[in-house]
Chains A and B, each alone.
Chain A
Amino acid sequence: MPHAAMIAAERIEEAAHTVMSKAGIEIPDDYLHGIQAMANTESGDLSAFVLRAMLENWEAAKADRRPMCADTGVPRYYIKIGNEARIEGGPIEMERRIRRATARATQDVPLRPNRVHPLSRQDNNNNVGINAPEIEYSFEPDADWIDVTTVHKGGLFGTDYRMLFPADGIDGIKRFFLDTLVAFGKRGLACQPAIVGIGLGGSKDTSMVLGKQAACLRVVGDRNPDPEIAALEEELKILGNSIGMGAMGFVGSSMVVDCHIEVGYTHTGGMPMSVHCFCLSSRRATARLHPDGRIEYRTDPEWFTPYLRRDTVEWQTPAESLKKSG
């Protein structure tokens, strides 16, 4: 593929600003439909009341263009860069634009300036600071675009990590999954029903990163392409909804809208696991920036591509294989 035109830095800032507002205000359709389905089957009267109130709340947010929840989480970005994409000013300029967009959106949407220094509690009132917003990167072969995704996940409850061992097996996974839901589901601290993301394997930090990405970057109804993992996703979803607990920790059945698992090759002696609950305001939005200046917006980040989940040494792109055979 010949070198594409530059993606303008100004457009990156525009896209990064727009996805902040979309994420804060518009509930993604996949999640909305998931909650609608749960509201129809929930038999607990209090839990059902909560789900109906949330459906009404999302309507109000869209109609008024106001954030659906005041705790607008800790805004962060996931950037996927096409192998052929060229960015005006390079990665440093891109990060500058993303930080500017974060500060502007905090004022404009408005988002709550949640980010403070952990010790001094200094608040810059713009969600920007040391290591904030986080920007994570991935790459995509045969692409000349960049995807800018933002996620505003709440930060206090509903996540846990544990080092399990191979002998703990599926039982260990189920128990830790249940432990996390029961612990944080009481009184609704996890803001369930949630998309529950699970990170299995990798190093300890990788397991946390994968679990969070599984919760925040995959949509309701999506399944892992590995049939064994997909079956476990289904099984855990059913297990979570059989605890007897619903929205706000009231008696009911609405805990898990969907369950997503991502894996990473891990230490031969271990099986680290993390669990993450993406809340009732599952805030995510993505923009794709093309070199011709077009920006397309969507709610599915399409983060976990075959390339990202590859398990081989080499990755041969279709273009490369054509070149070799030609």
Chain B
Amino acid sequence: MADPSGKLKEVRLTTPVRHEDLRKLELGDVVYLDGLIYTGRESVYKRVLQDGMAPPVDLKALTNVNFHCSPAASRNPDGSFNVGAVTATASFRFSKWLPKWFEVSGAKVIVGKGGMSEQDYRDVFVPAGAVYLTTVGYGTGALLGRGIKKVRDAHWIDDLGIAQAMWVFEVEKFGPLLVESDLDGNSLFERNNKVINQGLARVYEGLKAPSLARFGETDDRRDELIG
């Protein structure tokens, strides 16, 4: 978290990330990663967890950081890749896959956009000994792109396409990322929501409700729409 001057604490983590390093993380710390990370989102999860295909590489031996991302990338005529920018995609959509994914992959760090619910952290992340780091912005695509030193692999790119392939990146000072959940399952977003929610009644004060209501899952503006 921030010191009294408002400056946030900075941390460098090397992959595979160790449990003792994760233990030291506090909500709102700024993290930079060094080492290896891989991308995995709906198509990868579906293949491995629903269709029963083996991951294209031994993930447990490779690294323990899963990035919810698709890069802005293209393939050069010689088969190499040109990765311009990388940013994350909203993670809450992948909630249902994560319990099994932690088992299969051994992931300890999820990097993404927007975090998951505190319920997910308590029920799924804490037992797996995992934390969530959120990208910043969104999104700092050029800064994150600078942090990618090499594309080691782009698994399944021919059938899943550039956006859904499993990319393996060698990274250096990859960030900035913010600690959104800690090993105890606390959420930085939800902590902020609680403060903001206290002021919402004042913002809406005096505004009468529209004459035609809508069906909806919630009219309580303190609620979140994810999950």
B103-132 contact mask (Cβ, 8 Å, vs A): 1 or 0: 000000000011100000000000000000
A175 to B176, CA, bound (A): 35
* B24 CB within 8 Å of chain A: no
Whether B221 and A179, one on each chain, are in contact in the complex, defined by CB atoms closer than 8 angstroms, is: yes
A61/B136 in contact, CB under 8 A: no
Chain A residues with Cβ below 8 Å from B214 are 162
Q: Are A165 and B212 in contact (CB under 8 A)?
A: yes
CA of A191 to CA of B87, assembled, Å: 12
- Known contacts A49-B8, A61-B85, A187-B114, A67 near B137 by CB under 8 Å: no
Cβ < 8 Å to A, chain B residues 74-100: 74, 82, 84-87, 89-90
Interface residues as binary, B188-227 with A (CB distance below 8 Å gives 1, 0 otherwise): 1100110110011001101111111010000001001110
Q: Could you tell me the distance between the alpha carbons of A9 and B145 in the complex, rounded to whole angstroms?
A: 35
Q: What per-residue 1/0 map shows which CB atoms of A60-75 lie under 8 Å from chain B? A: 1100101111111000
| Residue pair B139, A281 in contact (C-beta under 8 Å) | yes
Please give, as numbers and ranges, the residues of chain B lying within 8 Å of A156 by CB-CB distance: 90
For residue A164, which residues in chain B have a CB less than 8 angstroms away from its CB?
210, 212
| B side interface size, CB within 8 A | 60
Nearest chain A residue, comparing its CB with the CB of B81: A110
Q: Is the CB–CB distance between B72 and A112 below 8 Å? A: yes
B138 on the A face (CB < 8 A): yes
**A45 x B84 contact (CB < 8 A):** no
The reply to whether the CB of A148 lies closer than 8 angstroms to some CB of chain B is: no
Contacts of B114 in A (CB 8 A): 187-189
A61 touches B200 (CB 8 A): no
A69 near B137 with CB under 8 A, answer yes
Q: Which of B2, B74, B86, B195 contacts A70 (CB 8 A)?
A: B86
Which residues of chain A are within 8 angstroms of B90 by Cβ–Cβ distance? 156-157, 189
- Near B by CB (< 8 A), chain A positions 158-201 give 162-165, 167-168, 171-172, 174-176, 178-179, 182-184, 186-189, 191
B72 touches A243 (CB 8 A): no
B208 cross-chain contacts in A, Cβ below 8 A: 171-172
Indicate if B168 sits at the interface (CB-CB under 8 A): no
Q: B87 — nearest CB in chain A belongs to which residue? A: A70
Is B62's CB within 8 Å of the partner chain A? no
A54 within 8 Å of B by Cβ?
A: yes
Instruction: Establish whether residues A168 and B142, one from each chain, have CB atoms under 8 Å apart when the complex forms.
Output: no
Whether B207 lies near A174 (C-beta < 8 A) is: yes
B118–chain A nearest beta-carbon distance, Å? 12
Tell me if A123 counts as interface (CB < 8 A to partner B): yes
B211–A68 touching, CB < 8 Å? no
Give the complex CA separation of A125 and B100 in angstroms.
Answer: 30
Chain B residues closer than 8 Å to A187, beta-carbon distance: 114-115, 189, 224, 226
**A46 lies within 8 A of chain B by Cβ:** yes
**A232 close to B (CB within 8 Å):** no
Cα distance, A70 to B211, chains bound together (Å): 41
- Measured in the bound complex, the distance between the Cα atoms of B84 and A90 in whole Å is 35
Q: Does B69 contact A (CB under 8 A)?
A: yes
Q: What string of 1s and 0s marks CB contacts (under 8 Å) between B35-47 and chain A?
A: 0000000000000
Which parts of A246-275 form the interface with B (CB within 8 Å)? 247-251
Kindly report which residue of chain A lies nearest to residue B73, judged by CB atoms. A110
19 A–B contacts from the bound complex (CB under 8 Å): A45-B8, A46-B28, A46-B178, A54-B137, A57-B137, A60-B143, A60-B146, A69-B137, A72-B85, A112-B73, A116-B163, A182-B221, A187-B115, A187-B189, A187-B224, A191-B137, A245-B196, A251-B195, A279-B138
User: Which B positions have Cβ atoms within 8 angstroms of A?
Assistant: 2, 6, 8, 28, 30, 69-74, 82, 84-87, 89-90, 113-115, 134, 136-146, 161-163, 176, 178, 188-189, 192-193, 195-196, 199-200, 203-204, 206-212, 214, 221, 224-226
